[in-house]
A and B are shown apart, each in its own frame.
Chain A
């Protein structure tokens, strides 16, 4: 068996999580490597979650939120965007490849985009290989 990465995807309840539901209703098929954690907003994502996930063996972490200017809570996704820069810096400091983190905007009506994002992420992580055992 080849390497099957584990990917944690933080999904906004209003957009990406709904898109994932819709992908199911449309019977779209995608890799089984993603485990979704539902948040109320991508702006709820704390950098600590990303670091936690990687240190516990996740090979990749995704954050999926609403398109900019379409946030349910006005500008939560802009906060997620700001924070993701911080996350990338943190990853580098801790010796993780920044490609292990991904931020994608998906509306509730775009199951195809959701499927594309998780498929591409899985391919990318498979190429990168398992997460390094870098501990602080």
Chain B
């Protein structure tokens, strides 16, 4: 079988709280991350909630 070299980058589709967490962890573990978001800004549904997060940790 042909062994091709793996690429050290990853694409994350969706810039909500889940995608952001995955992106942060991967970037922190030595991978290059493309974070792809459909709308004009990341933050997803969580940014629409009034009270949930005491500290706004969601920014990159």
Contact = CB atoms under 8 A, between A and B. Distances in A.
B47 to A, nearest CB: 10
A67 B54 contact: yes
Interface string B36-55: 00000000000000010111
B48 to A, nearest CB: 12
Nearest to A69: B54
A18 B56 contact: yes
Interface residues of A, number: 10
A72 interface: yes
Interface residues of B, number: 5
Contacts of B54: 66-67, 70, 107-108
A107 B51 CA distance: 10
A132 B51 CA distance: 42
B57 to A, nearest CB: 9
Nearest to A18: B56
A70 B55 CA distance: 8
A26 to B, nearest CB: 15
A109 B46 CA distance: 13
Interface of A: 14-15, 18, 66-67, 70, 72, 107-109
Interface of B: 51, 53-56
13 contacts: A14-B55, A15-B55, A66-B55, A70-B54, A70-B55, A72-B55, A107-B54, A108-B54, A108-B55, A108-B56, A109-B51, A109-B53, A109-B56
